[in-house]
């Protein structure tokens, strides 16, 4: 059974919890609080030298990091992970876009605005840049979704999961999606997928978490 | 035949040129100057709404963006792209690490220090952060390479290509690799790979570039 090291509020961790729920894969959940430095302990760094969650133990003592790499591993062999050469590459394109052009801005804004007291003042200058770059990335997504129901392969895939995680909570970091009707319609389509859980969903196995 | 839209000095574009050279795949090269706004023209944005290079035309009118997604597409079916489930995921892990923890810092520092006149003064505050995060990422790589010849699967793969691109020019953006002996030994092993070309290598097909 997988063990997932995860922080409940993290969008990157939510991606993995959502996919595991939709594939009905049982797992053991270990809640980790990055605000308390729990990803910087010697024990955690021995599992992931980069000191981040999510982290998935895929076999005893073998750990996989990076949310989108975990999505590929867990989704492998299911319709949610495109296997065709060009569709796989296009899914990867959107997932690298997510980690390079979207998450660093929406994720950073959300972290400082919702998890750090006084974050708005501390990061006032950075916030302007995160908003500018975040809106630019949302514009790229809006343009694509204006003519596509999902990002790749004409169906719901792990590329949608990756992009959904921070986009659906964009309002928490002051982003206004009013001017992005195609994104708003796509967010609804994601919610309608079988096995969907929200970011606040508490996984039952949390009861056995350390 | 592929058409690659590329900027010669870009580390992300170099990744693709290096892989194409090592696989002996001919292609048409179109040199694009981002400093002259050539990725922001209506014509270019019609090919890649995110306005970035590298961009690979994989079939007439079908374009693939994001350097690491292109590496997977081009390398597909060759020993350079791991096909085993866990090795593929581990390669992806390192490639997402590269785009999230390494390239944004080493790449940004290199851009402002080597391509923008007065960039050091303009970005003085940001540079401090890029250096701090860049060194942290290099530390994670050093730790891994202290016990591994290559990043994944015990052999040279596209994960090495992705990580090599900005690491081997780290000195151009003031990073000092003296304290990273395992990285320096790995850089030498990459240079020894069959078909290796340097970032300054001029592809012959450039003669027919637009």
Q: What is the ipTM of this complex?
A: 0.96
Mean per-residue pLDDT for B132-139?
A: 98
Secondary structure (3-state) at A56: strand
Mean per-residue pLDDT for B131-151?
A: 98
Amino acid B89: pLDDT: 98
Running DSSP on this structure, what letter comes out for residue A151? Answer: S
Residues of chain B found within 8 Å of residue A92, distances taken between Cβ atoms: 66, 68-69, 72, 92
Asked if residue B177 has pLDDT above 70, the reply is yes
Mean per-residue pLDDT for B61-90?
A: 97
| B18-52 per-residue burial string, b: 16 or more CB within 10 A, e: under 16 | bbbbbeeeebbbbbbebeeebbeeeebeebbbbbb
| Residues lower than pLDDT 50 in chain A | 206-210
pLDDT for B92-107, tens place per residue?
999 999 999 999 999 9
Amino acid B205: pLDDT: 57
Q: Is there a contact between B66 and A90 if contact means CB atoms under 8 Å apart?
A: no
To the nearest whole angstrom, how far is the Cα of B130 from the nearest Cα of chain A?
14
Amino acid B121: pLDDT: 94
Amino acid B190: pLDDT: 98
Read off the pLDDT band of B203 (50, 70, 90): confident
Rounded to whole angstroms, the Cα distance separating A6 from A19 reads: 14
Residues linked to residue A29 through DSSP beta bridges, in sequence order: A4
Q: Which residues of B touch A (CB under 8 A)?
A: 49-50, 58-59, 62, 64-70, 72-73, 76, 85-86, 88-90, 92-93, 95-97, 99-101, 103-104, 137, 140, 143-144
Amino acid A153: pLDDT: 97
Secondary structure (3-state) at A58: strand
Q: Where are the domains of chain A?
A: 2-78+196-208, 85-191
Amino acid A99: pLDDT: 98
Residues linked to residue A3 through DSSP beta bridges, in sequence order: A28, A57
Secondary structure (3-state) at A140: helix
Q: Which fold has domain A85-191?
A: Glutathione S-transferase Yfyf (Class Pi); Chain A, domain 2 (1.20.1050)
Q: Is there a contact between A96 and B99 if contact means CB atoms under 8 Å apart?
A: yes
Q: Is there a contact between A76 and B96 if contact means CB atoms under 8 Å apart?
A: no
pLDDT for B152-171, tens place per residue?
999 999 999 999 999 999 99
Whether B89 contacts A72, CB under 8 Å: yes
Q: Is there a contact between A97 and B66 if contact means CB atoms under 8 Å apart?
A: yes
Closest Cβ–Cβ partner in A59, A76, A93 for B66: A93
To the nearest whole angstrom, how far is the Cα of A73 from the nearest Cα of chain B?
6
> Structure pTM?
0.96
Closest Cα in chain B to A71: B89
Asked if residue B210 has pLDDT above 80, the reply is no
Architecture of domain B2-78+196-208: 3-Layer(aba) Sandwich (3.40)
Amino acid A195: pLDDT: 97
Amino acid A203: pLDDT: 81
Among left, alpha and beta (phi > 0; psi -120 to 50; other), residue A60 is: beta
């Amino acid at each position: 059974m997988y063990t997932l090291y995860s922080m409940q509020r993290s969008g990157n961790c939510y991606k993995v919890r959502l996919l595991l729920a939709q594939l009905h894969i049982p797992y053991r959940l270990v809640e980790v609080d990055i605000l308390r430095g729990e990803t910087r302990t010697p024990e955690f760094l021995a599992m992931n030298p980069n000191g981040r969650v999510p982290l998935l133990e895929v076999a005893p003592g073998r750990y996989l990091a990076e949310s989108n790499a975990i999505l590929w591993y867990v989704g492998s062999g299911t319709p949610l992970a495109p296997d065709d050469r060009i569709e796989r590459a296009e899914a990867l394109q959107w997932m690298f876009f997510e980690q390079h052009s979207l998450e660093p801005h929406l994720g950073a804004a959300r972290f400082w605005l919702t998890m750090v007291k006084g974050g708005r003042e501390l990061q006032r200058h950075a916030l302007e840049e995160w908003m500018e770059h975040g809106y630019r990335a949302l514009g790229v997504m809006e343009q694509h979704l204006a003519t596509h129901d999902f990002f790749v392969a004409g169906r719901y895939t792990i590329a949608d999961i990756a992009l959904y995680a921070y986009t659906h909570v964009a309002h928490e970091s002051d982003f206004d999606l009013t001017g992005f009707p195609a994104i708003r319609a796509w967010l609804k389509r994601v919610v309608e997928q079988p096995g969907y859980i929200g970011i606040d969903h508490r996984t039952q196995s949390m009861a056995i978490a350390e």
